[in-house]
Amino acid sequence: MLDPAQAEEIQGDEDPATRSEIAHTTAQALVHGGRAGAEEDPELVQRLVHLVDTEGLDEIAALWARSPHTTLPGTLWRLYLLREWVRRDPQTVADRYRLGVQRAEVAGAVAGVASPPGPEDVKVLVDKVLAGLYDADLAVALERAAAFLRVLATGSAIDADWIQEDDDELAFRVTRRAGGLLSTAEELEEAAELYRAGKLD
């Protein structure tokens, strides 16, 4: 058993209420402040889109990663993670998109990627989606991101076809990845609906 003096010196996790308040405040300031300033300073949108590049994913994660997908910080976290994946591995993303768009044509049209897309095309698309948070309709930006993810989920599932054995551990990881992309797409679609209803805070 610890004595009271020892117990006092153990640092606990940060207060969840304080963490949530900071996450919401920063997300609101980022989106609403960005939208307000976009007309006066066009370069502001580009700085916000490249926030992860300048601040790092760890700092963003510390603020937003634990926020539910039904909140603005949780939604931003998912969008910035998508952008980070595209930025780090644009060739894989472009390959998966090319595979998926053949079967998910409607989602491909909504996503708005060049056909056939190259690595730079998917980078440009994701940056445009993030820019849409600040200079266009937020709900439309979220729906475009969701459509993009739906195409990638389809492409990821097709990409798993080369695995011969059903019990192969890799088969589980690859198909689970496709399922994760689809779940994130559904979360972004729900966030778009909440935004239109004035409930995404």
At 87-126, the pLDDT tens digits run 888 888 888 888 888 887 666 566 556 566 677 777 777 7
Is residue 33 scored above 70 in pLDDT? no
- Domain residue extents for the chain: 15-196
For the segment 182-193, what is each residue's pLDDT rounded down to a tens digit? 999 999 999 999
Residue 1: the pLDDT is 46
pTM of the model: 0.76
For the segment 38-89, what is each residue's pLDDT rounded down to a tens digit? 566 667 767 777 777 777 777 877 888 889 999 998 998 888 888 888 888 8
- End-to-end CA distance of the chain, in Å? 43
